[in-house]
Chains A and B, each alone.
Chain A
Amino acid sequence: GDSVTQMEGPVTLSEEAFLTINCTYTATGYPSLFWYVQYPGEGLQLLLKATKADDKGSNKGFEATYRKETTSFHLEKGSVQVSDSAVYFCALRSIQGAQKLVFGQGTRLTINP
């Protein structure tokens, strides 16, 4: 079945550091790919998405590129801020089965000032 694998956390960085959170997937066909963010005490919010190969999603300084050849959708940000501290989830939306989301296990990110 479809699956998503994220890099193990937690990740701790200093403010203004470069961020990469790795995400790879296994799926039939060409799923849509998403990054969601969960701030403390809140539900999940969509951060960015990509719907076909080589698409780049971007939002709030974060970027991720849909790489079909490596089945990856790594999240990057050039200079992180304390306010980016949250849990990040990579997810895919299958072309089968009522288009439900399949999530990775989540990566907790802490940014120190």
Chain B
Amino acid sequence: DVKVTQSSRYLVKRTGEKVFLECVQDMDHENMFWYRQDPGLGLRLIYFSYDVKMKEKGDIPEGYSVSREKKERFSLILESASTNQTSMYLCASGVSGGTGGNQPQHFGDGTRLSIL
């Protein structure tokens, strides 16, 4: 069965800390995505990656960076955490190219991050 695993369900950090959120997929998907979910705003794309070491900014990249050193792993980094980054973070993966547009993305269970 398809599996996207996020390293933590709940995380509490302090303002100014560097925070790492990890995501691993076992489906050999080319594309991986990081979203944040906030009430009334739905899901907003932070960054995505379409290949190892490749990345593109999404709609709200400010304050975040990403790393993809291996195909199955995609990390989201909060360089200096701030309280407005308190949110639910969701990782997803999916196929690319050709008929990939017809295929869904597969999501992890999310990490609820609180910045104090």
List residues of chain A with CB under 8 Å of any chain B CB: 4, 31-32, 34, 36, 41-46, 49, 51, 89, 93, 95, 98-101, 103-106
The prevalent SS among residues of B at the interface is strand
A-B Cβ contacts below 8 A, count: 61
B12 CB-CB contact with A under 8 Å: no
Assuming the A-B contacts A34-B104, A43-B109, are A89 and B48 also in contact, with contact meaning beta carbons closer than 8 angstroms in the complex? no
* Bound CA–CA A103/B50 (angstroms): 19
What string of 1s and 0s marks CB contacts (under 8 Å) between B71-114 and chain A?
Answer: 00000000000000000001010101000111011111110000
Q: How distant is the Cα of A19 from the Cα of B56 in the complex, in angstroms?
A: 38
**How many of chain B's residues have a CB under 8 angstroms from any CB in A?**
28
Assess whether A98 is in contact with B109, with CB atoms less than 8 Å apart.
Answer: no
CA distance A26 to B31 in the complex (A): 24
The verdict on A104 contacting B42 (CB below 8 Å), with A34-B104, A45-B107, A98-B31 known, is yes
Offer 11 A-B interface pairs, CB within 8 angstroms, sorted by A: A43-B4, A44-B90, A44-B92, A89-B43, A99-B94, A99-B101, A100-B45, A101-B33, A103-B44, A105-B42, A106-B43
Contacts of B58 in A (CB 8 A): 100
Query: In the complex where A99-B94, A105-B41 touch, is A49 in contact with B107 (Cβ < 8 A)?
Result: no
A104 to B106, CA, bound (A): 17
B100 interface neighbour in A31, A41, A99, Cβ under 8 Å: A99
A44 touches B101 (CB 8 A): no
